[in-house]
DNA sequence: CACGTCCATTGACCTGCATCAAGGCGACGG
DNA sequence: CCGTCGCCTTGATGCAGGTCAATGGACGTG
């Protein structure tokens, strides 16, 4: 999901510094100004649909705040999450007119949006922008492929441990115990992991009873020993968890 | 996996016309010549490893002939295929130095290779090349996300039907019955689908007994009614199968 | 021809997760 | 204060697919 080093996000644009770095890490003054000139903001409440599957998509955007999900569905309603967008992640596809999956707000979420056509025009005139987007797409591709391994081969316990570890790794402070607030409901976690709500819940309590995590309400999680949790995730030495 | 319309592959390069269209659909004379000047070929036998997981990757390439797989593994040996490369597909990642997954020849396979550094240099000088690679990456991303749905939510029967349908859709002739030679062993099919060999085998015979396919040896498959097979795959109206 | 290797098939059995069903708990409104 | 709604947890049960094991066919080799 094309995560950007937020420590770089020190750009001279008060409104959404993160986004500008994310879209165009090497943009200089004038390009940055042009990007800034054509942006607009919009906010959705948790649970609202941002784009329907198959719908025409007239904008590209990046997440300023909150958390959004990408999902695809089978005709009988079974649903799989295929992407999780966090602040600084990019939404939309230059050169594509329709959305191949549904975009939904997981929490209250704010996007910084650009008209797709205008953005594409700028891409042709600003060569390194395409290179930057390519890099971000490759990051997303890596993340998608890591998730294919999770979905295809991990047990329920490993799946849940994997997701918790990923979220805990982003914890705002490094002090032990690590603490994070889950941006996802059990339903969203299940959609992400290819499980049911019940199985997610059972594995959460199992991890708690085994002393690997503690729960603080339904959404707060605490972890004394992240390495132990990562060991439960069954990853090889190379996995996304360790990068 | 960035499939290219092969009907466009009428380019004035005798050795590997497909590849040039694939890498740079809009390249004109001079650019094409520069690409051609720095290429080299290499062939692997079925089963050989092309690149190890985590290994430095000094080239980018495209598949001229045959079939290669991308796989990722857990530490205990469980393995998941995360990509299947067919002729005209692109391998390698401009801007990345190491391979995040293992690349293996599924059949005898020939790659047309470029030194990665030289290719990257050319990218900076040939703006539309980055745009083209972005488009290909987005195709791969779509394919990966479709597979996440397959891995996370489909039953074994649906998974096998999905894979067979994808392969039959590429059948060289449209005459009924459709006929295709599987480029994959049962083991590779299982790796792709997140199943075991035995389950793949059982579902193949179940589909045969239900009259949806016929088998011709271990690798040949025949299908009178592709629509019926696609119905078994459980896809929504939007799926990759119907495009 | 006998033998070994590789790949696929089939059967018997078991287990991990889905399914179905019943509460629990906190937030919010009347 | 109570009722209700959304979200989560827990229990009981069943089955899809994994695991273990045996067999068979295709092919190459001594």
Q: In chain A, which ranges are E strands?
A: 39-44, 49-51, 59-65, 68-73, 79-85, 90-91, 102-105, 109-115, 178-181, 214-216, 220-223
Give the per-residue pLDDT at B192.
97
Least confident of A11-20, A86-95, A159-168: A11-20
Residue range A152-160: average pLDDT? 98
Write the ipTM.
Answer: 0.88
pLDDT of res. B151: 98
Which of A76, A101, A138 lies nearest to residue B93, judging by beta carbons? Answer: A138
To the nearest 10 degrees (0 to 180), the angle between helices A156-169 and A127-153 is: 150
Average pLDDT over residues A115-125: 85
d(CA B50, CA B66): 13
B85-116 pLDDT, tens digit per residue, is 988 888 998 888 899 999 999 999 999 888 88
Least Cα distance to A221 among A242, A204, A203, A200 occurs for A204
What are the structural domains, with CATH classification, of chain A? 6-144 (2.60.120.10), 154-242 (1.10.10.10)
Q: So what's the pLDDT on residue A132? A: 84
Alpha carbon of B157: minimum distance to chain A alpha carbons (Å): 15
Q: For residue range B190-232, what is the model confidence (pLDDT) as tens digits?
A: 999 999 999 999 999 999 999 999 999 888 999 999 999 999 9
Please answer yes or no on whether A152 and B123 come within 8 Å at the CB atom: no
B179 three-state secondary structure: strand
**pLDDT at position A243, please?**
45
Q: Report chain B's mean pLDDT, rounded to a whole number.
A: 83
Q: How far apart are CA A49 and CA A103, in angstroms?
A: 6
**Of B6 and A28, more confident:** A28
CB contact under 8 A, A100 and B142: yes
Shortest Cα–Cα distance, A192 to chain B (Å):
9
Residues 92-151 of chain A whose Cβ lies under 8 A from any Cβ of chain B = 93-96, 100-101, 123-124, 127, 130-131, 133-135, 137-138, 140-142, 144-149, 151
Q: What pLDDT shows up at residue A155?
A: 98
What local confidence, expressed as pLDDT, does residue B31 receive? 61
Q: Stated in angstroms, how far is B122 CA from C19 C1'?
A: 56
| Beta pairing, strands B214-216 & B79-85 | unpaired
Q: Is A79–B153 a contact, with Cβ atoms under 8 angstroms apart?
A: yes
Mark which residues 28-87 of A lie under 8 Å from B by CB.
Answer: 53-54, 70, 72-76, 78-80, 82-83
- How much is the average pLDDT of B50-68? 90
| Strand C contact at CB of residue B71, distance < 7 A | no
pLDDT for residue B10: 27
**What is the pLDDT confidence band of residue B124, given thresholds at 50, 70 and 90?**
confident
State the nearest Cα–Cα gap between B224 and chain A, in angstroms: 24
DSSP B175: P
Instruction: State percent of chain A over pLDDT 70.
Output: 82
- Chain A residues in contact with B133 by the CB 8 A cut-off are 134
pLDDT averaged over chain A?
83
Q: Which nucleotide has its C1' atom closest to residue A158's CA?
A: C16
**Candidate from A145-149, A176-180, A207-211, B125-129 with smallest mean pLDDT:** B125-129
Average pLDDT over residues A48-62: 90
Contacts of A74 in chain B (CB under 8 A): 149, 153-154, 234-236
The tokens for A38 are 């054509």
Summary count for chain A: helices (H), strands (E)? 8, 11
pLDDT digits (tens, 9 = 90+) for A66-105: 999 999 999 899 999 999 998 888 899 888 889 999 999 9
Is the pLDDT at B240 greater than 70? The verdict is no
pLDDT tier for residue A34 given thresholds of 50, 70 and 90: low
Q: Across the interface, do A123 and B131 touch by the CB < 8 Å criterion?
A: yes
């Amino acid at each position: 999901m094309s995560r950007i080093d937020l420590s770089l996000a020190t750009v001279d644009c008060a409104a959404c510094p993160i986004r500008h770095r994310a879209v165009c890490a090497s943009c200089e003054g004038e390009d940055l100004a042009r990007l800034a000139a054509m942006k607009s903001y919009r906010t959705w409440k948790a649970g609202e649909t941002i784009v329907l599957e198959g719908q025409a998509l007239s904008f590209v955007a990046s997440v300023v705040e909150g958390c959004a999900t990408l999902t695809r569905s089978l005709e009988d309603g079974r649903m799989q999450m295929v992407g999780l967008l966090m602040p600084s992640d990019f939404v939309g596809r230059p050169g594509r007119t329709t959305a191949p999956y549904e975009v939904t707000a997981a929490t209250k979420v704010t996007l910084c949006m650009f008209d797709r056509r205008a953005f594409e025009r700028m891409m042709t005139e600003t060569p390194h922008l395409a290179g930057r987007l390519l890099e971000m797409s490759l990051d997303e591709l890596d993340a998608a492929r890591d998730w294919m391994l999770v979905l295809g081969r991990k047990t329920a316990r490993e799946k849940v441990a994997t997701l918790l570890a990923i979220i805990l790794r982003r914890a705002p402070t490094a002090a032990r115990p690590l603490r994070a607030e889950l941006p996802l409901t059990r339903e969203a976690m299940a959609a992400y992991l290819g499980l049911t709500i019940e199985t997610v819940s059972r594995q959460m309590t199992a991890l708690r009873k085994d002393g690997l995590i503690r729960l603080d309400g339904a959404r707060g999680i605490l972890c004394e020993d992240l390495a132990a949790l990562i060991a439960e995730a069954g990853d090889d030495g190379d996995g996304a968890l360790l990068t």
